[in-house]
Amino acid sequence: MTRTWIPGEPDADLSALAATPRLVVALDFDGTASPLVPDPMAARALPEIATQIRRLTELPDTVVAYVSGRSMHDLRVITEHTDDSVIALAGSHGAQYWYPGDGDGSADDAGDDADREALWEAARPIIDRYEGVEFEPKTFGMGVHTRRADRRTEELAFAEIDALVAERFPHWRRRSGHRVLEFSSRNEGKDAAIAALRARFDATGILFAGDDVTDEDAMRVLQPGDLGVRVGPGESAAILRVEDPQRIALLLEALADERAALRE
């Protein structure tokens, strides 16, 4: 059962994670490290979260990663990620990777260009008819955002896009989230990203935090010794819940404090 984390109070699960020999801190970006914003490409991590991430990356045997549905190019833009970064990235729901020191770590970074272009060509006229609905091109598909639209417009636009994909691309994976509908020619989910990060860094413990339905793929594959954190409301397999990204910053601070004290 998911319980609310209370800042300032001792938490046995967080303390156990702080003591794990090799820790991976994996964060969803939109709605977790960054508040949800009307323009998806304007999203940026909260300064207080960036501060705690920096503290964690400076600790021994501690890796930080962003795990996102964004395509790798866009993920690197919104995370302000540079070629010398020490932060790992898993993009496209676990179909793309970037690792510190190595760069691109994706086994297969090629999408089905013909199908993708055909989907974009068919979907864009639909999206353009609806005020406040926006198209997001992705390496393996597309996203349809409705953060600027009213709920009725969202319902109509999503229904048309769903009908289009069901008719022409029925094998593509469908995902829905906070004011977004996505389709991908790849089947990987964030569960694949957690498995890849665990293997890559030989993690003995993973903290994963996320706020949306797609993040539950990752929550469900966490193992004993890991810790899932749900940001905001909604049914979840996470152990802990916090209200918003500001509380994630406090939780990361508590984790960094405990881990640093154990390493002194």
Residue 13 sits in a domain whose CATH number is: 3.40.50.1000
pTM beyond cutoff 0.85:
yes
Q: Are 82 and 131 part of one and the same domain?
A: no
Taking the C-alpha atoms of residue 87 and residue 66, their distance in angstroms, rounded to an integer, is: 7
pLDDT for residue 109: 53
Q: Are 157 and 37 part of one and the same domain?
A: no
Q: Are 18 and 149 part of one and the same domain?
A: no
Taking the C-alpha atoms of residue 106 and residue 100, their distance in angstroms, rounded to an integer, is: 13
Tell whether the model's pLDDT for residue 104 goes beyond 90: no
44 by Cβ neighbours in 10 Å (0-12 / 13-18 / 19+) ranks as middle
Number of domains in the chain: 2
pLDDT for residue 1: 86
* Span 91-117, average pLDDT: 83
Which residue among 150, 184, 218 closes a domain? 184
Tell whether the model's pLDDT for residue 110 goes beyond 70: no
Q: Are 194 and 170 part of one and the same domain?
A: no
Is the Cβ–Cβ distance between 246 and 240 less than 8 Å?
A: no
* Span 134-160, average pLDDT: 95
Q: Which of 262, 226, 232 is nearest to 244 (CA)?
A: 232
Tell whether the model's pLDDT for residue 105 goes beyond 90: no
Q: What's the pLDDT tens digit per position in 210-221?
A: 999 999 999 999
95 by Cβ neighbours in 10 Å (0-12 / 13-18 / 19+) ranks as buried
**Mean of the per-residue pLDDT values for the chain?**
95
* Span 134-143, average pLDDT: 93
Q: What's the pLDDT tens digit per position in 39-90?
A: 989 999 999 999 999 999 999 999 999 999 999 999 999 999 999 999 999 9
Is the Cβ–Cβ distance between 17 and 223 less than 8 Å?
A: no
* Domain ranges, residue 205: 3-104+189-263
